[in-house]
Amino acid sequence: MVSMSTLPADARLRNFISNGDPDTDPFQGHSAESNIEIPEEICDLAVDYYGKRLAVATPSAVLVYQIAAAGSASGDILSKIATGTDDATLLARLESPDIAGPLQQIGWCDPSQGSMIVACGQCGSVVVYRETSPRGFSLAWKEKIEGAATSVQFGPKEFGMLSIAVGSTSGLVTIFDNSGGSLARTGVLKAHLNGVSSLSWSTPISPATLASGPAVQSGYLMPANAPRRLVTAGSDCNVKVWRYHSEDKKWVEECALPGGDGIVAEDTTPAEHRGPLPDGGAERPEGPPALPSHDACVRAVAWRPNVGIPSNFLASGAEDGSCKIWVQEMEGQPWRKASEIRHDTPVYRAHWSVTGLCLCLSIGDEAVCIYKQSASGEWLRVDGTQSIED
């Protein structure tokens, strides 16, 4: 099953406040009116599109901080929150009686769709908070899914509607779409045995369109939207790619990325071995692939933003310290493992930069590693001196 343990409290932040003295009360010197709240335990955090606000998920609430004044650099977020400067203040504390267990993950919506935060909890609740004033948020939507929620993410705005994907310990991924004026459940993917640990939406721009297609052939740089796709990871050691068929209004498992150095076809499972789930559920092959994607539970997966090349890239990280880079040269072609990064501690989070040029990994021992692909295709660590094995 997917472990529900939370991330440790930010020791650096609390150490900063206490000036390094373990016997000092971290909150000493901060009055009740100081507008500062330091979380005892951090489950997840997310920065908004502009890098100006930080949402921190604690076991029982979401804390929203203003971390930079308009037009200024964010700087050291930890010290600004700790000292309570004008450009690092607590804007809101968001709590919902519908969430009985610890929060697991949070995320910001694209600002073009509104200023909203989505959060999911161990009790299976999913909530959306909408900003209603410069310093105020209110509960805008709530829903309950089967199992404990482990991962949640807003869909890309380019798909034309507000969408949310939620993974859970039940092994299901639930899709909510705002196609009729309100968010409603439109799809259920039976994704992974023993639980879903991570998910990520695909890039909204079709890589194939960048190289050919009506937009390029007509001479206009107006790339068409790609099909809606998701990548999911689970405790069954697998990474799977899903595609939405708009004609049938169903999600279909496109492929499961294989272990070893093999190449997987898009979807070769015979139709008689597929089984649909009700209410827009995904058709799926029966059973796992011959070789799992990783040799251990996969904790993180991230779809690389499109950077103007006709290729798709994925990054997946596992408890054994491996992070694999997967590539699909063109839509319709098979996925293959392009590189593998090895660490001595588990990989818990994976994030791409906005341009897709850098990959950030959160690993054990409270370490963060940043990698960048060289001109030769090698992934190099840019926050230190370590390079990786291809």
The residue ranges of every structural domain in the chain are: 1-108
pLDDT attached to residue 302: 97
pLDDT attached to residue 317: 96
pLDDT attached to residue 70: 47
CA–CA gap between residue 346 and residue 351 (Å, rounded)? 15
Record the pTM: 0.79
pLDDT attached to residue 105: 95
pLDDT attached to residue 318: 96
pLDDT attached to residue 247: 87
pLDDT attached to residue 126: 95
pLDDT in tens, the chain (390 residues): 544 433 333 333 333 333 334 343 333 333 233 345 666 788 899 999 888 899 999 888 999 998 865 445 445 555 555 545 555 688 999 987 777 778 999 999 999 999 999 999 999 999 999 999 888 899 999 999 999 999 999 999 888 889 999 999 999 999 999 977 889 999 999 999 889 999 999 987 755 555 544 444 444 344 456 789 999 999 999 999 999 998 888 999 999 998 766 555 444 433 433 444 444 555 544 444 457 899 999 999 999 998 677 789 999 999 999 999 999 988 888 999 999 999 999 999 999 998 888 999 999 988 899 999 888 888 999 975 444 443
pLDDT attached to residue 227: 84
pLDDT attached to residue 71: 47
pLDDT attached to residue 275: 41
pLDDT attached to residue 309: 76
pLDDT attached to residue 206: 59
